[in-house]
Structure 1
Amino acid sequence: MKTTLVTLLAAVLCVEQAYPFICYVCQEKESNKNCLTISLCAKEDKYCVTVRNNIGTKPNKPKYVISKMCSPTCPATSQQQNQTDQRVYCCEKPLCNVNGVSGKQSSSGVMFLGVLASITYIFACGR
């Protein structure tokens, strides 16, 4: 079993984009630690997206909500709406939106843990 899991993990890390594409998903969470649900994306989805909205009312104490999703396109990257500051981060690798503030880069250690967690999740749910 360990050999199979290690082989599968190595294959996932070596393949640029394995199908099905997977991303972290959540809706308007106040903390990134509450925003780590793994989801299989639709066939047409190519991006993992993280949207961070500043909803704080005090200028020196920002408050954010985070949403993550799969998407076939990368939405407009940053925009200001009324008094809400919205940041959008897109990335094109499985589980690349693990970080709550920047989806452009993630460390290989975090990526490894994310892939390992997703494989464990898939095996646990498949039985």
Structure 2
Amino acid sequence: MRYVPCLFSLAAHTLICFSCSDASSNWACLKPVKCGENENHCVTTYVGVGLGGKSGQSISKGCSPICPSAGINLGIAAASVYCCDSFLCNISGSSGVRASSTLLALGILVSFFFVLRARE
């Protein structure tokens, strides 16, 4: 009997992630893509900005060979990079870093204080 190597084991390690670029909502980021051989992580990048009554966000998703994970929240702006390594694991639009309404209001009040004080 002849031995035939199993090719299915290679296909089982292929990662599939959601992918999009600069989408304004997570609903626009639900397109699955097959990652390359050296791409072992799914990555989600979230950037949100809010000032007064106006706000905006940008979400990007895809495959990556490295796993960057970072976040910053400055009150009026927030950014996060989240990675994971399982089938379609980057379904969420962000990893919990959002611009805080309380910090936004505090930032605006402090700005007004400095503007009024500069006029004196």
Distance 1:66 1:27 in 2: 7
Q: How many residues align?
A: 85
Structure exhibiting the larger radius of gyration computed from Cα positions: 2
**Secondary structure at 1:56 match in 2:** strand
Q: C-alpha distance in 2, partners of 1:46/1:99?
A: 18
1:75 match: secondary structure: coil
The aligned residue for residue 75 of structure 1 is 68
* Residue 100 (1) aligns with residue 93 (2): yes
> Is 2:36 aligned against 1:24?
no
Greater helix proportion:
1
Q: Is the 8 A contact 1:55 1:65 kept in 2?
A: no
Separation in structure 1 between the aligned mates of residue 57 and residue 19 of structure 2, nearest angstrom: 16
1:91 paired to 2:81? no
Which consecutive residues of structure 1, in runs of 5 or more, have no partner in the other structure?
A: 1-16, 104-127
Partner of 1:64: 57
Larger strand percent: 2
Deviations 1:49-72 (A, max 9, x none): 0000013333x6542110001001
SS at match of 2:27: helix
Q: 1:76 offset after TM fit, Å? A: 4.2
Counterpart AA for 1:53 = V
Q: Which residue of 2 aligns with 1:50?
A: 44
Separation of aligned partners in 1, 2:38 and 2:70:
20
The two structures have a TM-score, normalised by structure 2, of: 0.60
Q: CA deviation at 1:47?
A: 0.7
For residues 10-68 of structure 1, the C-alpha deviation after alignment (integer angstroms, 9 at most, x for no partner) is xxxxxxx932211000001111011101100010111100000013333x654211000
Residue number in structure 2 paired with 1:125: none
- CA distance in 1 between partners of 2:72 and 2:65 (Å): 20
In 1, distance between residues paired with 2:94 and 2:78? Answer: 13
Task: Output the CA distance in 2 between the equivalents of 1:80 and 1:101.
Answer: 13
